[in-house]
Chain A
Amino acid sequence: MDAAVETRELTRRFGALTAVDALTLRIERGEVFGLLGPNGSGKTTTIRMLCGLLEPSSGSALVTGIDVTVAPEQVKQRIGYMAQRVGAYEDLTVAENLTFYAGIYGLRGDMMRTRVGEVVAFLSLGDRLGQLAAQLSGGWKQRLGLACALVHRPGLLFLDEPTAGVDPAARRRFWHTIHDLAASGTTVLVTTHYMDEAAQCGRLGMMSRGHLIALGTPDEVAAQVGGRTLEDAFVVLQQRDEQ
């Protein structure tokens, strides 16, 4: 079976800067894979290339078995994506946002109502359907963003720093949701700054200056620097890389 994501020497340059440098990575179906790294290490650029939002400068990337540089639109139907800045429309209600994204993903009639109903139940948005997105707090807005990205039931979900600016309780609930998704077979690729979130991933890739500096389960990564905490591993490995 194809991997969910498989990149080979994936590279992206912005002028003189190499944001992602020959990244080779394989993510299996059903994994919760975390990309960890400081700002500017290339996490967002990687995700954007995998979603077809940025063209790679060189290298290749198969996403759900499809070459994203050849058929980005086919990839887009199969993935869900949630950026750091939630893409829901502030001047639409929760229900209108969901109906819009369901329609854009080609859902119609009964099928649309069923899927919207499912995602509303899954994320407990039932009481908020009539509210404008602008009136939602950070945590609820983030849930709405996730609902918009899930309404077409993608097999692969990209989350780019999904919990930035969300309170701790909402963050915890959010990670429960992610584990529920993974249990139902959805592959999740998530970027984060937070070590406690990184520890919840099945596998981790640590990035620095556009390439991987560590790869494995949280325990394996920690073991690379003598079994200390993930945070220690992160700091030590990054310093080593920059020398």
Chain B
Amino acid sequence: MMSRFWPMFRKEFIQMRRDRLTFAMMVGIPVIQLLVFGYAIQTDVRNLPTVVLDQSRTPTSRDLIAAFQNTGNFRVIAHVDGRPELDAAIARGDAQAGIIVPYDYPRDLARGTTATVQVIVDAADPLSSQAALNAAAGVAQARNLSILSRAADRSIPIEARVRPRYNPGLRSPNYIVPGLVGVILTMTLVLITAMAIVRERERGTLEQLIVTPITKTELMLGKITPYVGVGLLQMTAVLILGRFVFDVPITGNILLLYGVSLIFIIASLAFGLLVSTLVRTQQQAIQASFGFMLPNILLSGFMFPRQAMPEIAQWLGLLMPLTYFLKVVRGILLKGVGLEALWQEVLILAAFAVVLIVASVRRFRKTLD
């Protein structure tokens, strides 16, 4: 039983090591991706370039503009003298927000009638405009409350105290980096094994291999096992960089994390293997892998919260191992929870691994038809 697994494993390992460029890419690409994604993906929008048209030019208006700046969402880059200038700055893209304080602002405020201040936002990018809208509304609300409570001579009636648990600083890297562990593993491992059998077919070595008594299971397992090590290596690199470059906490049990990752790695490799049995050329293997990757990244909840997706997209997301793995990684790294909270996801991942391996072994034929 399985006696031909080791020769197969050893051969794959030597070939993997000898292919320096691929090996370097397998370890180098995760690091680059982590740095790029980690720095670039910032869902908390700050420092929107803002132009100000202050028609009243009074201490009261300057006070208001300072309040806007203090939210951290607006960064005043210029003061302009007229509306056309302000519109032009936003149209050109120099500014993404404009604040207009009218002549009557201080007068209305003093009189007790409603004073208006206009905030114009470039909503072409919904994420940043949303942040700006919230911030602007927040500034007005805070002012309103303080003025009204002073007038009524009492403290504000209700205050909702929101405590952001698990990621108190609301930092994007805390959300993105754990997810990246899963995305990087999916990306590289599926592609590597998708090529595995097709490459032998194209080079003509598969014919020689299947004329030997090696069993399908020995062949498949021997092929993917060396890459389990690659997956664990990639994951370790991402975790270390995440911890020391992006300050992502490692709250939970690291051994549990490695254990579950092992299951996820096997599932990813097995999926690649299944692809490898379905396609005829390396080119098709690459296309199929990317076709698998994109929905994974979009629907798994790596970038966009799944709760916000239409129902059908949520259902599709459930078909992807990454969806479950993301819950596990974020759960362990950020919340510090253990198996008692995650056992369902772990079981589903294990089922994925088993089903995918069995499917690819069954799909594979030791004949040339």
Contact = CB atoms under 8 A, between A and B. Distances in A.
Interface of A: 48, 51-55, 72-73, 76-77, 79, 81-83, 85-92, 96, 99-106, 108, 145, 148-149
A51 B208 CA distance: 11
15 contacts: A52-B366, A53-B211, A76-B211, A77-B213, A85-B207, A87-B204, A87-B207, A89-B11, A91-B19, A96-B11, A96-B14, A103-B6, A103-B10, A104-B7, A145-B208
B228 interface: no
Given A87-B207, A91-B18, A96-B11, A52 B212 contact: no
A54 B11 contact: no
A48 B212 CA distance: 13
A103 B4 CA distance: 6
A104 B214 contact: yes
A104 B207 contact: no
B367 A52 contact: yes
Nearest to A84: B204
Interface of B: 3-4, 6-8, 10-11, 14-15, 18-19, 203-205, 207-215, 366-369
A155 B213 CA distance: 15
Contacts of A149: 208
A75 B210 CA distance: 12
Closest A-B pairs by Cβ, 10 of them = A87-B208, A103-B7, A85-B204, A81-B211, A77-B213, A76-B213, A104-B212, A100-B11, A53-B368, A87-B205
Given A53-B207, A96-B11, 15 more contacts: A52-B211, A54-B367, A73-B215, A77-B213, A79-B211, A82-B208, A83-B208, A85-B204, A85-B207, A91-B15, A91-B19, A100-B7, A100-B11, A101-B212, A149-B208
A87 B209 contact: yes
B218 to A, nearest CB: 9
Given A52-B367, A91-B18, A106-B213, A100 B10 contact: yes
B18 to A, nearest CB: 5
B10 to A, nearest CB: 7
Contacts of B366: 52, 72-73
Contacts of B19: 91
Nearest to A76: B213
Contact of A99 (B7, B15, B205, B211): B7
A146 to B, nearest CB: 12
B273 to A, nearest CB: 19
A36 B211 CA distance: 23
Contacts of A48: 368
A87 B201 CA distance: 10
Contacts of A53: 207, 210-211, 367-368
Contacts of A76: 211-213
Contacts of B369: 54-55
Nearest to A102: B7
B7 A81 contact: no
B84 to A, nearest CB: 67
A92 B18 CA distance: 9
A95 B215 CA distance: 23
Nearest to A101: B212
A105 B213 contact: yes
A55 B4 contact: no
A53 B211 CA distance: 7
A81 B205 CA distance: 12
Nearest to B7: A103
B15 A92 contact: yes
